[in-house]
Chains A and B, each alone.
Chain A
């Protein structure tokens, strides 16, 4: 059974029973925090968004992504808007904190549309944002809704031409008869203006809803995946795309699984993976054939058929797949766990981490309130040693692959004193609830953390609650 592999929680309870009563949290959870010098102590840094509880649907955050240097942090929301934050240059005198993230640019990426053929609305919600690596002064990103992908150029303007002969400074034309001398217009500095413009629009290639986009390591092509098909695009070409995976059955009655996520390998430009609603991951090699319907590798964990229930398939559906930075491993997120797979081993994951196993005995209610279909994402830290994912009650979890320690933290405005270390949270599955623990029945299932991102180089994380963006950093000094 999957839970056999993770022995840690049981050991924690053993330690707790031997400890004398203490006040401080790191003495109650001795394996966390007070241990080795390698344990990260997370502190609140910033929170963005409105404080009020009445959340407008448009403000629901739908994606969060750092760029390749970590200097920029982009968010997309249900209203089709993108907000980009930029990290301030580090203040050399202030050694105890890293630069803050402030608004750099914001624009309306997608608008709602109407599909006339199907009489269906096309939501403007931004499903994914992916940054291109920086090639020149401008920044580029891809943003997508259910049907259309757009390439945005974000550029800075800090100079403007002044001293035209035929125009006044405000743009009005001068009467030519009043011009007696000529001058050469010059560029003068101006207040920094950040402009976003759509450079390419990749439309009309998806019948079903786009769930993923992924830029190839060749930096020239990218893939977009919907429920049944994956297409390959060239960043310069918008009127053509190649279909590389098609799992649509001839007879839709025979449909048994859909594509849930897809990603290109970080180093190998002909390799990509896609995950399914049945809990499998297929690795494909574009050199093998033009249409990659036949996988090169199939990653699937065998299941004990006697344990199968109505919920088995639903909770095994993979909601996110992410390659490690090294390219050797990939991580998948299903409803209750995070699994790390070695690309060289198809028959089972090498590591499994339980995110919120206590929900297994609540599956009936979670099915009734639709929470069982929530799509949680997951992410790696820069060195691939820690993985992070979200949960309910605005909790998020981190698993250290080396120490096998895990921690549960909360994104809440109550903890917002900068440089104060966040207190770990604990959920009490059953029985007597200890002080400071929260019982499963008290969890707020409307407060879900679906999207998290980790800075590519530093211990800075961005965690999105429903409509707020939290930024946490490790304690310095």
Chain B
């Protein structure tokens, strides 16, 4: 029956628009595809984008695994203030530098 569908469409409309021809191809490959084309199933999938984890522990484990793979390339901060005195806010570096800088800035 998968083969009948495109043939039936062709018989009705001798000159099939490219879009309709593509639709026939898709329906032939996935006969159960969406009763509602572009409908709520598809929209809801879009709203739910993002990787789901079991819980925050699962998430943190996954992140830890990723960090081990990535080798940090930042050089140690040369202006680190340690030891001699209690640092003041002015002594501390303004922001934590990125572990891995963007290659656009390279």
Contacts and interface: CB of A to CB of B under 8 A. Distances in A.
Interface of A: 48-50, 58-59, 61, 75, 77, 79, 81, 83, 103, 106-108, 112, 114, 116, 118-123, 146, 171-173, 195-197, 208-209, 227-228, 252-258, 277, 307, 309-314, 317, 360-364, 367-368, 467, 469
A257 B90 CA distance: 51
A467 B96 CA distance: 24
A79 B102 contact: yes
Contact of B18 (A106, A108, A208, A360): A360
Q: Which 8 A-B pairs have the closest CB atoms?
A: A313-B38, A361-B18, A363-B22, A309-B23, A364-B22, A310-B37, A364-B25, A50-B103
B92 to A, nearest CB: 10
Interface string B1-34: 0000000000000000111111101110100011
B84 A172 contact: yes
Contact of A121 (B21, B51, B100): B51
A106 B102 contact: yes
Contacts of A77: 102, 104
Contacts of B85: 172-173
A402 to B, nearest CB: 31
Contact of B22 (A121, A252, A309, A317): A309
Contacts of A172: 84-85
B76 interface: no
Nearest to B84: A172
B19 A309 contact: yes
8 contacts: A116-B56, A118-B52, A121-B50, A255-B44, A258-B43, A310-B33, A310-B37, A363-B19
Given A253-B40, A256-B39, A310 B104 contact: no
Given A258-B43, A361-B21, A121 B104 contact: no
B94 interface: yes
Contacts of B55: 119
Given A75-B104, A252-B44, A255-B44, A361 B22 contact: yes
Nearest to B98: A108
Nearest to B20: A309
Nearest to A208: B47
A309 B9 CA distance: 13
A254 B40 contact: yes
